[in-house]
């Protein structure tokens, strides 16, 4: 589907509770192309991309980030097309693991993938025959990038077209995510093209609403702690009382990120132990 001049979308068949209708791959350019977010290692998606490329030269394969629903097909596609991989550096945590902590997203990350060119915040590259600006947007994960093309911002998972973004520490960071929201709101791009879901007509307004939602969630955490919640499970039960299991699992990760963010602001106190954490308001 053509979504803008020089931008075509091909959606992978990997729909699910965390991917909506599937991961969007974008072909950038007209006569010469770059492929953004090749998606999962799915033969049907590879065939769809090959048909959409239609024999045109591909100068680079770009990634917004290295979660496998965006990047798993990248090595195979790069080999098939003879195209280099360009992205924001190898997958890395937003901060080191703490004692007793594990990265719940470890199995969903492409740790071994290495770029042939590491893209840098603020640079402009030629993606096929389309000029594209590069914008570092950490938060969902540490190496996340967004790409500006014309009036559009290809925003990856930083702003999604169907739901709020999962932020799971230590893979991601709520402080970085909120700072990156402020950054994209200030950029001169009106429409956002997310990696999951359809185009967002007024991206800055939508991103401002996401920021307000996160701020509201911070207040809900503080309110629940004031009413006696002391664990992540308590907070999830208070804030998400009737959500299905997949949503509650994601909520547990995101609420943990909110608690860590509030701890950094000295709004809460946290005691960590091998079986989880105890949390209280910071008096």
Domains in the chain (CATH in brackets) are 2-210 (3.60.15.10), 214-281 (1.10.10.10)
Preceding peptide of 170 cis, ω within 30°? yes
Pick from 173-182, 242-251, 271-280: least confident: 242-251
Q: Give me the pLDDT at residue 278, please.
A: 96
Picking from 206, 189, 188, 187, the residue whose alpha carbon sits closest to that of residue 197 is 206
Which pairing describes strands 152-156 and 191-194: parallel, antiparallel, or unpaired?
parallel
Residue 250's pLDDT band (cuts 50, 70, 90)? confident
Helix (H, G, I), strand (E, B), or coil: what is residue 217? helix
pTM of this structure: 0.95
Average pLDDT value for residue range 254-269: 97
Q: What is the Cα–Cα distance from 213 to 210, expressed in whole angstroms?
A: 5
Assign 17 a pLDDT band (cuts: 50, 70, 90): confident
Query: pLDDT, tens digit, for every residue of 70-123?
Result: 999 999 999 999 999 999 999 999 999 998 898 999 999 999 999 999 999 999
Structure tokens at 241: 């009382």
User: Distance between CA 281 and CA 283 in Å, rounded?
Assistant: 6
| CA 71 – CA 36 distance, rounded (Å) | 9
What pLDDT was estimated at residue 18? 84
Q: What is the CA 27 to chain-centroid distance, rounded?
A: 19
| CA–centroid distance for 145 within its chain | 9
Contact criterion met (CB below 8 Å) for 110 and 62: no
In this prediction, residue 244 carries a pLDDT of 79
Tokens 């599937």, residue located: 22
Over residues 199-213, the pLDDT tens digits come to 999 999 999 999 999
Residues 121 and 54: beta-carbon distance below 8 Å: no
Average pLDDT along the chain = 96
> Contact 94/173 with Cβ under 8 angstroms?
yes
């Amino acid at each position: 589907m053509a979504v803008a001049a020089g931008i075509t979308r091909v959606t992978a068949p990997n729909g699910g509770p965390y991917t909506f209708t599937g991961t969007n791959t974008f072909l950038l350019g007209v006569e010469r192309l770059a492929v953004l977010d090749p998606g999962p290692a799915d033969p049907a998606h590879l065939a769809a991309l090959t048909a959409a490329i239609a024999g045109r030269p591909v100068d680079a394969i770009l990634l917004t980030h290295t979660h496998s629903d965006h990047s798993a097909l990248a090595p195979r596609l790069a080999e098939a097309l003879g195209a280099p991989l360009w992205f924001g550096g190898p997958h890395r945590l937003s901060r080191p693991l703490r004692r007793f902590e594990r990265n719940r997203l470890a199995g969903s990350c492409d740790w071994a993938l290495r770029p042939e060119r590491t893209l840098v915040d603020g640079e402009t590259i030629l993606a096929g025959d389309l000029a594209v600006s590069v914008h570092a947007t950490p938060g969902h994960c540490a190496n996340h990038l967004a790409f500006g093309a014309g009036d559009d911002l290809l925003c990856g998972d930083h702003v999604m077209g169907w739901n709020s973004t999962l932020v799971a520490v230590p893979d991601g960071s709520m402080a970085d995510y909120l700072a990156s929201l402020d950054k994209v709101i200030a950029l001169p791009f009106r429409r956002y093209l997310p990696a999951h879901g359809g185009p967002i007509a007024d991206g800055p307004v939508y991103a401002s609403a996401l920021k307000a939602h996160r701020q509201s969630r911070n207040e809900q955490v503080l309110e629940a702690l004031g009413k006696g919640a002391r664990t992540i499970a308590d907070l999830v039960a208070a804030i998400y009382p009737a959500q299905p299991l997949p949503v509650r699992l994601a909520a547990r990760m995101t609420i943990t990120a909110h608690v860590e963010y509030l701890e950094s602001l000295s709004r809460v106190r946290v005691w960590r132990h091998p079986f989880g954490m105890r949390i209280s308001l910071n008096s």
